Structure 1
Amino acid sequence: MKRMSGLMLAAAIMMQSIPAVAASPESELLDVSSFTIMDEDLVYIGADYLNPAMTLFDSQEYAPESPDKTNVGSEKWNATDRSKNWKPNWQSEFGEDAFFMDLGANYVITGICFLDTNGVQDWIMEDGEPFNWNTCVDFTTDAYQTWRGIQIEKPRSTRYLRFSTPCGDSGVAELALYGYKESELTAAQKAKTAVRENDSDAEPLTAGQQIGFNAFIDDPMTAIMAAGNVREYHNLSWMFDDTGKVKFTQGTWGDMDSYYSAMHARNISIIPCFQGGSSVISGGKTPPEIAVPNGADPTDPASYALHAQAMYQVAARYGSNKNVDPATLNVADGSEPKVGMGLLQAAENSNEPNKTWSGKANYFTPFELAAMCSADYDGHEGTIPHAGVKQADPHFQLAMGGMLNTASLLDYLSQMKLWFNYNRTDGKFAVDIINVHLGPDTYNPEDSSFTARVQEIKQWIQENAPGTKLWISEFEIPMTDCETEGIDNHDNETYQLRYAQRVARTYLMAMSAGVDRMTKFQLRDEGEGVYYNSGLVTGKGEWKKKQAWYYTACMTNVLKNMEFRQEIRNGTAAVRQYEFVPCPASSSTDTVYCLWSPTNA
């Protein structure tokens, strides 16, 4: 018995000395509720006839047990919604349909199941990381109303997944992932997508300068003088001569030096908006607004070299840096080379780059706009010579083109951030100003979704690009309730009074909500149709000032040395009260109170 006990003890010691072989974690249906799922193609997301990628994950409780056991039984099958396939877009010119998933940790995906409903469509599943994908598996949806499973032959650890199909109906109503969590994100992975603070040091605007409108170089100063700020529509095609040199004169309309100097002398803050395309860059009589050479990759910052070099010339001339190397100037004949004129603090690099109504040639995907912004910001970290506003003047600011306030706006910004994270070594969100077109959507601005939407955008900024400013560079006012049949709106006194009131109230609400600059569309009425009565003055050549012009001029004058302090809660919703105090640079000791009743009475 003693010998047997010794043998058993020795065996036990030997067993303890043998390293244990860790069993692979068991694969299971993954809970996708904590994953970030985002469509890449955002063109029409939000339309009620399309279905975003989240549609594929809305019946997970009815998914198969595993890829090799796809029979779910009649009860689950009957409870599964099979009527909606993933369908983000119908227009093939906008490219393939794709979505990606950030799993928030490192997972090994061992298999998938997909609910094949109808049609024949080719799919690709990829892992890896954004802009560096590896194919895991491809498959075809060639069955009808059935769950199908696929085992991944060589599963590997990944943080991201991407699925893509050609444009059209995907043929899939539900998608399930199987695998296991391998590890949390590494420090390097976390750093890759970490939030970077924007270190902008631009001088803040006064409350009066926050109030402005869009204008053109041929608008008279007698009309422009009401502004605290002016957003100048400036076609990119005006910028270049035939050799690609930058012009600072605009045909018979005048020159930019005089135009900007006249506004600067009146303490009007100026922001040129360089919009549209250029034949010098892209060729053709009607060049696309995506200003790259024909055939160039629009997701490559180097493709925007000429655009970014023009932005450099603007910042060099009109910024505050007087030490720009003259050898870097590329000024057209007839324009005297100048630097550091101190007339501008910022420039905007496009207008409504996410518009959908004029085709793909004029629609920037988030990745394309990020690439152009990176070039226009600092020449993509200095890799493009003499390009980007920061290389000319480190204090000059870049405003991204004014974005349409679409349902997918925040996703669009998030995709831009992803591009910056994975394509810039500093990971910086390479714009100083996020710029949106947004106004009230009800007759009483105070009852609209305006403030709530501003707060959503500002929250995104705080969480993803803190320190970045928010501008609203176009807004308009709903007015159909004031129209009278048979009376031109210009002659309708009630219409003009209410219009002036609503414009003023929208400016005030924007300041209260934290918007850094609010610019109305626009100074002058524009032709017929929807823009016939959109101005603060009547049409070109007439320039008759409306009541809204006088309201705006009054506000910019009274608030020219003030800054918004707070909304004073007075215990009643019947009266709004805002308090403005002198700016730090002002010698004034006055306090301005603005009170109004948020009604149309």
Structure 2
Amino acid sequence: MKRICLLFQLAGVIAFFYGCKPEPERTGVELKPLREKQVKIKDMFGVNGFEWDFYDDHYNFDTAKYNLIKTFSGFRHFLDWERIEPSKGVFRFNHKPEGGWSYDEIYQKCHKDSITVLMDLQITPSWIVNTYPEAKRQRDLMPIEYKAVRDAPASYKEIGRAGFQIAARYGRNRNIDKKLILVPKETADPVIGLGYIKYLESSNEPDKWWKGKDSEQSPEEYAAQLSAFYDGDKGRLGKGVGVKTADPSMVVVMGGIAKPNVEYVKRMVEWCKKHRGLKKDGKIDLCFDVINYHMYSNDYTGWFASFRSKGRGVAPETNDMTKIAGTFTDYVKELGQEIPIWSTETGYDVSEKSIQRAIPIGSKSAEVTQADWILRLGLLYARLGIDKLFFYQLYDNNDPGTETSNPFGFSGLVSKNKRRPAADYIYQVTRLMGNYSYYNTISKDPVVDIYSYQNKKMYVLLVPDETDRKENYQLDLGAGIKKAVIYKLNPGSSSMNVKEVATEDGFLNLEVTETPMFVEAK
């Protein structure tokens, strides 16, 4: 008996030295969706920009520039309030006849091509700024007159009225009293109910502490603003005030907070509970429909997390982004009210002087690393249950060859007439699997995520690092699967590199890198 055992042991040693491998074992565990809510992966790839991004220097709609914008599923429009209300109570939305941009044209084009528009009404107009002493005037003041009560919804009636006018024009409700429309050039036949926009955001980064106390709002002060903007403080501010007053189907997105601290949102909710009460179903009558926070993946998070300065951007999985996203998703579960969570600003710069910068890694340039990290950031947030993401931003703020201390000066995802690698990656991925939703994760390092759409599955593999690390991984596509298709990203192109390979009874041996790769069973 001992002799037989020794023979088997000897056979095992011989097999080892001659490269024979034992048959890999299947787990037999049936994976189920990790969450009921299904967010399409293309919703992770919106972009920030301005109205002039759609036009040439002569205010003609620029088809070439628009074709670049169509790379992205969503467009967060930074809209300066004064551009649609140049003087108090006087609105205009179509500047084109006099030479200018037409918001109607921009939003109509985006609506037609299924680009989700989030209008962010920002920057306090000069007719409010001028109520302040000259030494205090700046464009980022909170949107109330000088010495108005900061935490009273009535102080924010003007921005509530602006919300009504926007929702009346671009929302879906055509049953609006036209006498309430304040567009003088359309008095005879006001334009309402165009149906181009669903999402409105009131201000940008209301907690902007770096601008001083006349600009920085507490959670309670900002909640008061949102209550006016949302529904005219439950109708208490009169007719023609509030987004929901014009169109109850519109979605109000809270301004993305610069400090990604969930306590800010919690205090807003408490304000709503105290001042707006409960709905008939017992839920808090909130003055926002979407939670929104900003976080850039760098090591400069001293205000909230531990400070570990490298003076640059870092790969998204190596920062506190996962932990911070978890504080928001956990709070929504605790609150018991289904509220989407968005992040409307994130991204990387490529200037060597920026604390937001992506770095060259291995043979990859900073632009290609920027592409890797932006794509991985979208995948990370999909994995964590964030509902929508917008990157900063479409074009660089700075002109080529210039340099300032602005850490966001060279954060563009496209140049004047072509996509950069980050936009190439977004274009390629959303065309491969834009309608797929995150399903589950079967490995954390390397990351192996599963996405699903109808009866199809896509495996996404990546190394969550920033050191040019590579890992070998054996992917199990399932017994009986004879072939697989491997998709690899291709900077500078509209198409991925595609390769069909044979499997070993459904097993596929892969070298995984820090650039995501995609695999599906044939």
Shared fold by TM > 0.5?
A: yes
Summarize the alignment of residues 357-436 of structure 1 with structure 2, pairs less than 5 Å apart.
357-384=210-237, 385-406=239-260, 409-426=261-278, 427-436=284-293
The alpha-carbon distance between structure 1 residues 575 and 301, as it changes in their structure 2 partners (threshold 3 A), is closer
Structure 2 spans left out of the alignment, 5+ residues: 1-36, 54-64, 132-136, 279-283, 300-313, 469-522
CA deviation vs aligned residue, 1:219-254 (integer Å, no higher than 9, x gap): 131221111111111111212132422221357441
Matched, 1:263 2:263: no
Q: Given that residues 233 and 275 in structure 1 are in contact (C-alpha distance below 8 angstroms), is that contact kept between their aligned partners in structure 2?
A: yes
Aligned length: 380
- The 2-side partners of 1:401 and 1:378 are apart by 16
Alignment-mate amino acid for residue 376 of structure 2: R
Residue of 40, 44, 67 corresponding to 1:210: 44
Which residue pairs with 2:341 in the alignment?
Answer: 470
- The 1-side partners of 2:141 and 2:340 are apart by 25
- The 2-side partners of 1:559 and 1:389 are apart by 34
Q: Given that residues 211 and 519 in structure 1 are in contact (C-alpha distance below 8 angstroms), is that contact kept between their aligned partners in structure 2?
A: yes
Residue of 565, 569, 574 corresponding to 2:446: 574
- The 2-side partners of 1:522 and 1:497 are apart by 16
Residue of 77, 86, 91 corresponding to 1:241: 86
How far off is 1:461 after superposition?
2.3
Which residue pairs with 1:521 in the alignment?
Answer: 392
SS at match of 2:146: coil
Matched, 1:454 2:325: yes
Q: Given that residues 205 and 256 in structure 2 are in contact (C-alpha distance below 8 angstroms), is that contact kept between their aligned partners in structure 1?
A: yes
Q: Given that residues 232 and 242 in structure 2 are in contact (C-alpha distance below 8 angstroms), is that contact kept between their aligned partners in structure 1?
A: yes
The alpha-carbon distance between structure 1 residues 495 and 308, as it changes in their structure 2 partners (threshold 3 A), is same
CA deviation vs aligned residue, 1:19-63 (integer Å, no higher than 9, x gap): xxxxxxxxxxxxxxxxxxxxxxxxxxxxxxxxxxxxxxxxxxxxx
How far off is 1:556 after superposition?
2.7
- The 2-side partners of 1:298 and 1:282 are apart by 15
Which residue pairs with 1:592 in the alignment?
Answer: 458
RMSD value, Cα? 2.7
Q: Given that residues 351 and 410 in structure 2 are in contact (C-alpha distance below 8 angstroms), is that contact kept between their aligned partners in structure 1?
A: no
Residue of 183, 197, 200 corresponding to 1:331: 183
Which residue pairs with 2:101 in the alignment?
Answer: 254
- The 2-side partners of 1:505 and 1:250 are apart by 39
Which residue pairs with 2:201 in the alignment?
Answer: 348
The alpha-carbon distance between structure 1 residues 478 and 372, as it changes in their structure 2 partners (threshold 3 A), is same
SS at match of 1:357: helix
- The 1-side partners of 2:141 and 2:417 are apart by 30
SS at match of 1:367: helix
How far off is 1:297 after superposition?
1.1
CA deviation vs aligned residue, 1:175-212 (integer Å, no higher than 9, x gap): xxxxxxxxxxxxxxxxxxxxxxxxxxxx9863313311
Q: Given that residues 275 and 289 in structure 1 are in contact (C-alpha distance below 8 angstroms), is that contact kept between their aligned partners in structure 2?
A: no
Deviates more, 1:426-435 or 1:554-563: 554-563
Summarize the alignment of residues 90-105 of structure 1 with structure 2, pairs less than 5 Å apart.
none
Q: Given that residues 291 and 339 in structure 2 are in contact (C-alpha distance below 8 angstroms), is that contact kept between their aligned partners in structure 1?
A: yes
SS at match of 1:404: coil
Which residue pairs with 1:317 in the alignment?
Answer: 169
- The 2-side partners of 1:357 and 1:231 are apart by 23
Alignment-mate amino acid for residue 438 of structure 2: F
- The 2-side partners of 1:526 and 1:479 are apart by 12
Alignment-mate amino acid for residue 213 of structure 1: V
Larger strand proportion of the pair: 1
Which residue pairs with 2:427 in the alignment?
Answer: 553
SS at match of 1:403: coil
- The 1-side partners of 2:80 and 2:336 are apart by 29
- The 2-side partners of 1:286 and 1:477 are apart by 27
Residue of 202, 210, 227 corresponding to 2:72: 227
- The 1-side partners of 2:222 and 2:393 are apart by 25
CA deviation vs aligned residue, 1:436-479 (integer Å, no higher than 9, x gap): 00133363322221111101111122223621111101012377
- The 1-side partners of 2:180 and 2:345 are apart by 34
- The 1-side partners of 2:140 and 2:408 are apart by 24
SS at match of 1:348: strand
Summarize the alignment of residues 3-18 of structure 1 with structure 2, pairs less than 5 Å apart.
none
Which residue pairs with 1:506 in the alignment?
Answer: 377
- The 2-side partners of 1:242 and 1:562 are apart by 46
How far off is 1:289 after superposition?
2.7
The alpha-carbon distance between structure 1 residues 482 and 241, as it changes in their structure 2 partners (threshold 3 A), is closer
CA deviation vs aligned residue, 1:49-78 (integer Å, no higher than 9, x gap): xxxxxxxxxxxxxxxxxxxxxxxxxxxxxx
SS at match of 2:296: coil
The alpha-carbon distance between structure 1 residues 348 and 552, as it changes in their structure 2 partners (threshold 3 A), is same
Q: Given that residues 566 and 580 in structure 1 are in contact (C-alpha distance below 8 angstroms), is that contact kept between their aligned partners in structure 2?
A: no
Matched, 1:272 2:127: no
Which residue pairs with 2:517 in the alignment?
Answer: none
Which residue pairs with 2:21 in the alignment?
Answer: none
- The 2-side partners of 1:545 and 1:239 are apart by 30
Identity of aligned residues (%): 26
Q: Given that residues 441 and 449 in structure 1 are in contact (C-alpha distance below 8 angstroms), is that contact kept between their aligned partners in structure 2?
A: no
Alignment-mate amino acid for residue 50 of structure 2: F
- The 1-side partners of 2:39 and 2:107 are apart by 17
CA deviation vs aligned residue, 1:543-573 (integer Å, no higher than 9, x gap): 4421111111222333333332222x14x61
- The 1-side partners of 2:385 and 2:277 are apart by 31
Which residue pairs with 1:537 in the alignment?
Answer: 414
Alignment-mate amino acid for residue 117 of structure 2: I
Alignment-mate amino acid for residue 412 of structure 1: Y
The alpha-carbon distance between structure 1 residues 480 and 217, as it changes in their structure 2 partners (threshold 3 A), is closer
- The 2-side partners of 1:480 and 1:280 are apart by 37
Q: Given that residues 213 and 519 in structure 1 are in contact (C-alpha distance below 8 angstroms), is that contact kept between their aligned partners in structure 2?
A: yes
The alpha-carbon distance between structure 1 residues 209 and 264, as it changes in their structure 2 partners (threshold 3 A), is farther
- The 1-side partners of 2:297 and 2:139 are apart by 34
- Normalization by structure 1: what TM-score? 0.59
SS at match of 1:561: coil
How far off is 1:309 after superposition?
1.0
The alpha-carbon distance between structure 1 residues 275 and 354, as it changes in their structure 2 partners (threshold 3 A), is same
The alpha-carbon distance between structure 1 residues 359 and 557, as it changes in their structure 2 partners (threshold 3 A), is same
- The 1-side partners of 2:373 and 2:161 are apart by 41
- The 2-side partners of 1:349 and 1:435 are apart by 11
Which residue pairs with 1:78 in the alignment?
Answer: none
How far off is 1:594 after superposition?
2.4
The alpha-carbon distance between structure 1 residues 393 and 337, as it changes in their structure 2 partners (threshold 3 A), is same
SS at match of 1:500: helix
The alpha-carbon distance between structure 1 residues 573 and 205, as it changes in their structure 2 partners (threshold 3 A), is closer
SS at match of 1:533: coil
- Normalization by structure 2: what TM-score? 0.68
Alignment-mate amino acid for residue 425 of structure 2: Y
- The 2-side partners of 1:294 and 1:537 are apart by 40
- The 1-side partners of 2:214 and 2:151 are apart by 13
